[in-house]
Chains A and B, each alone.
Chain A
Amino acid sequence: MAPPLISVQDVTKVFRMGDVEVRALRGVSLDIEAGEFVAIRGPSGSGKSTLMNIVGCLDRPTTGRYLLDGKDVAPLDRDALARIRNRLLGFVFQSFNLLPRTSALENVELPLLYAGLPRAERHRRAARALERVGLADRLDHPPNRLSGGQQQRVAIARALVSEPKLILADEPTGNLDSRTSVEVLALFQELGRTGITIVLVTHEPDIATYVGRQIVVRDGHIASDRRQTPVRADPSSIPIEDVA
């Protein structure tokens, strides 16, 4: 059997803020198999973002091991980690983090630029990724001419474009209304069916109902970890809110 895509083994993380030590993670162990759609849920300050940063190779554990796709990332230097983020991972952020005054297409191309792909290839793949998220007709729109939901879909296309094994989404619905949130979740569910592993960090319990596995983090520990039958995300079931 293949090793789990993510294997977090007794990881702790301590931040030093002046004289105070903050223990964000106090021994977390967790395996996530390829193809899972997982939500990491917890109140703010629970350590879920720290866990996310370690899984995303943006931060390193203080103690413990983290194996990504069966390989320990501890001995890798900054450039090697950048390479892993570029090839293996895709990020989706709460506030989209798109480059302003830059077309959707160019925003989506960004990871491919750092992968060193030629221009024509970048264009082709970015256009296909935007098509996959339903924005084929918005290629040359800059972010300020797109709605919040469309912006988040551009960001998802950017995460998808390098065909990663894992997408990490940090509060992806935090800046969206409930109908658009469900739209985005429907997109994630669709992507999940194609075999991509998705880890979603959220503090909203109802968002976590749409995933197949819910991990609750509290005070730097895993408080619960259970598999569930996901609710099918159906945007049409949510009434359109009045936008004041």
Chain B
Amino acid sequence: MNGLETLRVAVRALLRNKLRSFLTTLGMIFGVGAVVATVAIGEGARSAVEQAFASMGTNLLVVLPGSANTGGARGGFGSQPTLTWEDLKAVRTEVPTVRYAVPYLRSSSQVLSEEQNWTTQVAGTEPDYFEIRSWPMALGTRFTDSDVDTGTKVVVLGATVAEKLFGPNSNPVGQTVRIRNIPFQVVAVAGRKGQTPTGQDSDDVVFIPRSTFQAKIQGGLGKFLQGTIFISATNASTAERQVADLLRDRHRIGGPSEDDFQIRNLAEVASAQEESSRTVTLFLAIVAAVSLLVGGIGIMNIMLVSVTERTREIGTRIAVGARGRDILRQFLGEAVVLSVAGGVLGITAGIVTARWLTAAFHWPVAFRWDVMILAVFFSGAVGVVFGLYPARKASRLDPIDALRYE
């Protein structure tokens, strides 16, 4: 008997007991289905986070001003401006690993078009900010360094703001919007970025030159930089150390004293996220292994029952000329068909479940085809491992006893 015949005999035998065969595969279906669905959800979440981090820009450092410590009450980072414009200049010129360093000043404010208004974040920055964030314009041209030098009243709208003020698919370039009652000319609409790693809308923002921001929003040019510094570095961790050293030196912080600033390395945050998702994946793999084990035991159990129940059949087959290995192959074939069918059905169930979760809760899912192919192979292996014992038992039956078995 060749492999195909064996398979046909196995399938025939299984179809004689459809309900039982189906129930036997349920263990595998649930196990594999759970794996496929959870991997899809995990991957979906991971790629969403990854995308969000990628949209933040690569090798990005954020320098936050320090806390106001008054009488032992520490105000937290950003509660007091400790970064100066001189600090920014020093970071730009004295740290070789820094490619770009830009200020980022922000304030929540209402922005008005002729017909609509929208409260959003108004950010004062410099053109290099768009380089750091690798953020292209969808329409128009962003403001330039000379706009920063002269404090022009121009604005780049985030995609969300453009939509809220001018309607979807409109071109507001050249129009005027009012921020704190000051007219700004729209020079560009930024491309859509999507969500930040923390789930906020990156596009709900407008950008104006930082000098304009200082003069019109903050009210006055001061020594302190009342915001954060975004840095794009050639090597984030080296730059992080060098910038910290520079700022401690400039702020005359020595030895054990606490820094009056904080540097956030987004690459580190991203890799921490990656680490945690890897842990989750490992955990899932363990759950998968356990569920496949349980499924395999279920198959072995039913195969043992089946061998006992079909003792007479086995005796008959041996009497008419089946060899031990024919019987072994038949029962092994049945176990493998059961487990692989369970695997394939499980994948289907997993995909359906994941798609349903997407439809119902808008969870992002990403299917890993390699995981699915692996799951099918693994199912087959489970069938072989757990089918072997019952199959051997069947193949070693004594035909005389088997024929008489009641």
Contact = CB atoms under 8 A, between A and B. Distances in A.
Interface of A: 53, 56, 58-59, 78-79, 82-83, 85-87, 90-91, 93, 97, 99-102, 106, 110-111, 113-116, 158, 162
Contact of A102 (B12, B318, B320, B321): B12
A108 B24 CA distance: 30
B323 A91 contact: no
A79 B321 contact: no
Nearest to B315: A97
A146 to B, nearest CB: 17
Contacts of A100: 16
Given A79-B324, A97-B312, A102-B16, A114 B317 contact: yes
B1 interface: yes
Residue among A58, A83, A102, A162 with max Cβ neighbours from chain B (10 Å): A58
Residue among B2, B315, B324, B403 with max Cβ neighbours from chain A (10 Å): B403
Interface residues on chain B, size class: 20 to 34
Contact of A58 (B12, B326, B400): B400
A78 B313 contact: no
Given A59-B400, A113-B9, A99 B316 contact: yes
B1 A58 contact: no
Main secondary structure on chain B at its contact with chain A? Answer: helix
Contacts of A116: 1-2
A91 B16 contact: no
Nearest to A91: B319
Q: What are the nearest 8 A-B pairs in CB distance?
A: A86-B321, A114-B321, A111-B320, A97-B316, A101-B16, A82-B323, A79-B323, A91-B319
Residue among A87, A93, A114, A158 with max Cβ neighbours from chain B (10 Å): A114
A202 to B, nearest CB: 17
Contact of B320 (A79, A85, A101, A106): A85
Contacts of B324: 78-79, 82
Contacts of A106: 12
A56 B313 CA distance: 18
Nearest to A99: B313
B162 to A, nearest CB: 69
Nearest to A100: B16
Given A58-B319, A82-B323, 10 more contacts: A58-B399, A87-B321, A93-B316, A99-B313, A101-B16, A102-B12, A110-B316, A110-B317, A114-B321, A114-B322
Contacts of B12: 102, 106
A78 B323 contact: yes
A27 to B, nearest CB: 21
Nearest to B312: A97
A99 to B, nearest CB: 6
26 contacts: A58-B403, A79-B325, A82-B322, A82-B323, A83-B321, A85-B319, A85-B320, A86-B320, A87-B321, A90-B320, A97-B312, A97-B313, A97-B319, A97-B403, A101-B16, A102-B16, A110-B316, A110-B320, A111-B320, A113-B5, A114-B1, A114-B317, A114-B321, A115-B321, A116-B2, A162-B321
Contacts of A110: 316-317, 320
Contacts of B323: 78-79, 82-83, 114
A14 to B, nearest CB: 15
A47 B71 CA distance: 109
A115 B320 CA distance: 10
Nearest to A101: B16
Contact of B321 (A82, A93, A101): A82
Contacts of B1: 113-114, 116
A58 B321 CA distance: 10
A211 to B, nearest CB: 22
Contacts of A162: 321
A21 B182 CA distance: 114
Nearest to B4: A119
Contacts of A93: 316, 403
